Structure 1
Amino acid sequence: MKFSFIFFKAEIEECSSLKELFVQYEKASGQMINYDKSCVSFSKNVKRAKQDELATSLGVLLVDKHDKYLGLPTELSYSKAEAFKFLSEKVRKRTRGSREKTLRAAGKEIMIKAVAQSIPTYVMSCFELPKHLCAEKHSLMAG
């Protein structure tokens, strides 16, 4: 699965050029673009009627915003706790199964620590996590 963000002016001519570029790409690569899995979003400055027109001309779904890109939130203007909630859920889900397995206490501890430390590593390379989230990770590792 590949993701791409393409930025352009919100004009019908730009959409036509983009569609032509997609056609050339498909011919050159032999790969087809799946328009059913593609979507477009616009800045707040573009009127809704114009957004609808441009999305229709591109043949893609119009969305208000993209929630994630490469597994990371694309926008942090809302609550950081909400934006990074997926990390806690992911760690909890992965460590819950390890507690039920028939591992000795030391094995469980190593597994929990490895999971709890590895899952947020990529996110932490891009964003500074809120302190409360780090504290939650520490409490998960403590058992």
Structure 2
Amino acid sequence: MDTNHSPAVYALLQLHAELGGKIKDNQREAVKLRVDMKHVEAVLHLLQPEFNARRIAPRRRYNPNPLFKRGTLFRAALDVLRASPEPMTVDEISRALFRSKGVSEPSRDDMRRMYGAVAASLDNHAGKTVEGDQCHPRRWRLI
């Protein structure tokens, strides 16, 4: 072992061992979760013998928006549209929402998540509260 780098090597060995321990813990947890799923499937088969458990899609975890509580994003987007003299794209609305919360340079992932949330909210309310033109990118305005 090179003595010049022994603290670095020691730290990397420790990190490697720690990561290996986490992998083993996750593998044990995966085995436990598989057993739990089998138990749930067994109960489902008791209640409905013809039930096909393969049709159940794994549910992804919901990552809540840290800046906007549930149900407040669309209202905030409406406020942005009210303040704007002309229609806005989803990108412009998203950036304005970040600015309203004091975030001047959002990360790429944060911007992508906000864009998706704003686009979905506007699409859900299209024709009721807001409307978008047929151009690309779509420009939204209040009805």
Shorter-chain TM-score: which interval?
Answer: under 0.3
Normalising by structure 2, report the TM-score.
Answer: 0.25
User: Considering only CA atoms, is the larger Rg found in Structure 1 or Structure 2?
Assistant: 2
Normalising by structure 1, report the TM-score.
Answer: 0.25
